[in-house]
């Protein structure tokens, strides 16, 4: 299945526009547009779960230089706009530290700078002299799409986390004349109602991860990430091409890795982001506090 860019409303980039041995090779199927049959890998759920856990365990930290292509638009409104590539540096360190520094094309000035420790985030926007802070968990989405951005959205797409409960995982063999995937679906119990929590798609040509979908409690897609061009860096697998779409947060981005150093160590100060002098501080993503009750009016005195 070719990777396709799902049209979504850009969030962050409005900034700058403003193998395991248990597998066996089996039969081949003939793809449309190809003359030769390709062998497909046959495996089981336990092996796929083990692949995810193994790949995740191999990466303790990384320092990546990437090209980002932002997408602005709406699939429902049939409107798509792409912006020029952005050079960005992405730093990660376990358990959940991440920093993303975006640079303008050509002049390479700072377009945005954001950091998260897994629970809180900070976002600096030099062009607007604004410094946004908040929790990673969005209690109330803002109509200003910029305020819905979270560094953790990138992290959960860049690193496919291990399965939490194997007993709540279903395996599907999705194979036809054009496509061949194994799909693992993590199921969650929402008050007695079962709903998908996450899906991980594996190519049956080599068992590489091809797609990851994350759902909300109602089964709606929160994140849709697609992966291609897997390479090994210091014995750790890393996809060189990643497409991230956040339909509810209304932004999307295509990431192409230029360079990545894996498990070389990232210093503490790389995850420090202080509010610059003169910047306006704004707290985002939290539901407004309930208004205090109106004071009781004093009883009227009767005239005698």
pLDDT digits (tens, 9 = 90+) for 245-267: 988 888 888 999 999 999 999 99
Q: How confident is the model at residue 145 (pLDDT cuts 50, 70, 90)?
A: low
Q: Considering its fold, how many domains does the chain have in total?
A: 1
Residue 107 or 187, more confident: 187
Residue 51 lies in domain: 14-18+43-239+249-283
pLDDT digit string, tens, across residues 225-235: 999 999 999 89
In a domain, 294, yes or no: no
Cβ atoms of residues 22 and 40 within 8 Å: no
Q: Is the pLDDT of residue 271 over 60?
A: yes
In a domain, 293, yes or no: no
In a domain, 244, yes or no: no
- Which phi and psi angles does 9 have, rounded to 5°? -80, 125
In a domain, 29, yes or no: no
- Which phi and psi angles does 126 have, rounded to 5°? -60, -35
Cα–Cα distance measured from residue 222 to residue 66, given in angstroms and rounded to the nearest whole number: 23
In a domain, 62, yes or no: yes
Cα–Cα distance measured from residue 170 to residue 182, given in angstroms and rounded to the nearest whole number: 10
Q: Is the pLDDT of residue 184 over 90?
A: yes
In a domain, 275, yes or no: yes
Between the CA of residue 127 and those of 15, 34, 121, what are the distances in Å?
Answer: 8, 49, 19
In a domain, 56, yes or no: yes
Q: Which of 41, 59, 4 is nearest to 241 (CA)?
A: 4
Q: Is the pLDDT of residue 125 over 60?
A: yes
In a domain, 81, yes or no: yes
Cβ atoms of residues 87 and 103 within 8 Å: yes
Q: Residue 86's domain is classified under what CATH number?
A: 2.50.20.10
Cβ atoms of residues 158 and 148 within 8 Å: no
At residue 138, the pLDDT reads 75
Q: How confident is the model at residue 272 (pLDDT cuts 50, 70, 90)?
A: very high
């Amino acid at each position: 299945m070719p990777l396709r860019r799902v049209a979504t409303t850009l969030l962050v980039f409005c900034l700058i526009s403003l193998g395991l041995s248990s597998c066996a090779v089996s039969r081949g199927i003939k793809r449309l547009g190809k003359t030769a049959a390709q062998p497909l890998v046959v495996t089981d759920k336990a092996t796929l779960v083990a692949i995810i856990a193994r790949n995740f365990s191999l990466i303790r930290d990384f320092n990546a230089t990437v090209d980002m292509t932002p997408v602005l638009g709406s699939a429902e409104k049939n409107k798509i706009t792409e912006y020029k590539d952005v050079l960005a540096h992405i730093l990660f360190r376990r358990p959940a530290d991440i920093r993303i520094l975006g640079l303008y094309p050509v002049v390479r000035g700072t377009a945005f700078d954001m950091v998260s420790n897994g629970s809180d985030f900070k976002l600096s926007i030099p062009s607007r002299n604004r410094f946004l802070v908040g929790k990673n968990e969005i209690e109330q989405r803002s109509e200003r799409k910029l305020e819905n951005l979270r560094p953790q959205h990138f992290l959960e797409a860049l690193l496919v986390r291990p399965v939490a409960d194997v007993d709540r995982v279903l395996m599907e063999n999705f194979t036809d004349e054009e496509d061949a995937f194994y799909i693992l679906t993590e199921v969650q119990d929402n008050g007695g109602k079962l709903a998908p929590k996450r899906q991980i798609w594996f190519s049956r040509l080599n068992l590489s991860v091809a797609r990851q979908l994350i759902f909300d409690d109602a089964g709606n897609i929160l994140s849709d990430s697609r992966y291609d061009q897997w390479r090994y860096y210091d014995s750790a697998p890393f996809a060189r091409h990643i497409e991230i779409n956040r339909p509810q947060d209304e932004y999307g981005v295509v990431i192409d890795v230029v360079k990545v150093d894996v498990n070389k160590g990232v210093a503490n100060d790389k995850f420090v982001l202080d509010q610059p002098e003169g910047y306006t501080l704004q707290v985002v993503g939290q539901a407004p506090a309930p208004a205090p009750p109106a004071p009781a009016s004093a009883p009227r005195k009767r005239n005698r």
